[in-house]
Amino acid sequence: MNRITVEQVQSSERFYRIPKLLVEAKYYRKLSAEAKFCYAILKDRFDLSLKNDWVDEQGCVYLIFTVEELQELLGYGNKKVIKLKKELAKYGLLEEVRQGLNKPNLLYLGNIITDPRMLRQDFNEADETVTEEAKPLPEAEVSKRHFQKCQNDTSRNVNSTRQEVSKRHSNDTEYKETDNSETNYLEEDEEKAGRNLKKKVQQPSQFDKDYIYVLVESKLKTEIKSQATIDYYLGRFEDRYQLALNNMVYIKDSESVAEYVFNGLLSEISKELRRNAS
């Protein structure tokens, strides 16, 4: 056996990365190993999506990855690949959007949840918890509960002080919170009332804006080594921030705005790199 050396570990050898929570959390324990690997393969395609500017109007990155391509990479038949995609969709990790006849579906990957309470439950238990909590609440209580959730979701120990926000580093960008129980409750309520989801944007406070800036800066540091380049693109933060507020159909929390701004800046970076290369 030819053993792997330190130099090889530290080299640029390419790997598929499986988020640790998919392996360690009880919530994802019944998700098959094949489905977890499939998620890693799909997520690895984000670089190609950014190069091709496959970013929708809401700043969400999508993939174009046919069943045939997955069959070839995974070594499985058609039925097995479709089963894995359905399994990921069940856990909220994959969404397909049809484009029309003879066109490939657009694939959107879902974020991995980070709610400690849900992660300690298995999938079925957590689903029952969400259903129980989705019972109607007075409007004031819903607003208060949603606000508190926005303050606490990103980190287990984030406090609502600007000092702590400024110190926060985004080391777990792979595992952003995506528990949509609150959003689903509000959206379903609006659909029943009028079947027409209206733009629902609250004017963010300066605290939220500073927090979003820190999140975006931390995300950029995971993609770009040059601080000068990071500072250059952060100079466009204000424009991207306002664009997010004007164009996002539904703003769930500060993290979703940060994701929109970050994806928009990455799209700009990708375009400029292509122009410089040509």
Q: What's residue 86's pLDDT?
A: 93
Q: What is the pLDDT of residue 195?
A: 38
Q: Which helix (H) or strand (E) holds 94?
A: strand 94-97
* 141 in the same domain as 95: no
- Same domain (yes/no): 89, 133: no
172 exposure class (CB count in 10 Å sphere: 0-12, 13-18, 19+): middle
Same domain? 237 vs 187: yes
Q: Which residue has the tokens 């040509």?
A: 278
Task: Among 109, 124, 147, identify where a domain stops.
Answer: 109
The residues, any chain, with a CB within 8 Å of residue 244's CB and separated by 6 or more, are: 59, 251, 257, 260, 261, 264
What is the count of structural domains for the chain? Answer: 2
The structure's pTM equals: 0.46
Strands (E), 112-236: none
Contacts of 19 (CB under 8 A, 6+ apart): 39, 40, 112, 174, 175
Residues 128 and 239 occupy one common structural domain:
yes
Closest of 32, 252, 18, 27 to residue 117, by C-alpha: 27
Residue reference for tokens 């066109």 = 103
* Domain boundaries, position 217: 116-277
The confidence score (pLDDT) of residue 141 equals 43
User: Are 213 and 204 within 8 A, CB to CB?
Assistant: no
Residue 91 sits in a domain whose CATH number is 1.10.10.10
Choose the final residue of a domain: 109, 141, 162: 109
pLDDT tens track, the chain, 278 positions = 776 676 666 665 678 889 899 999 999 999 999 999 999 999 988 888 888 888 888 888 999 988 899 999 899 999 999 999 999 999 999 998 888 777 888 999 999 888 888 888 888 877 665 445 444 444 444 434 443 444 444 444 434 433 443 444 333 433 334 444 444 434 444 344 333 333 344 455 554 788 888 888 888 888 888 888 888 888 888 888 888 888 776 677 788 888 888 888 888 887 777 777 76
| Residue 2 forms part of a structural domain | no
Per-residue model confidence (pLDDT) at position 205: 57
**Domain end position, chosen among 94, 109, 124:** 109
- Residue 139 and residue 96 share a domain: no
- Please indicate, yes or no, if residue 4 is contained in any of the structural domains: no
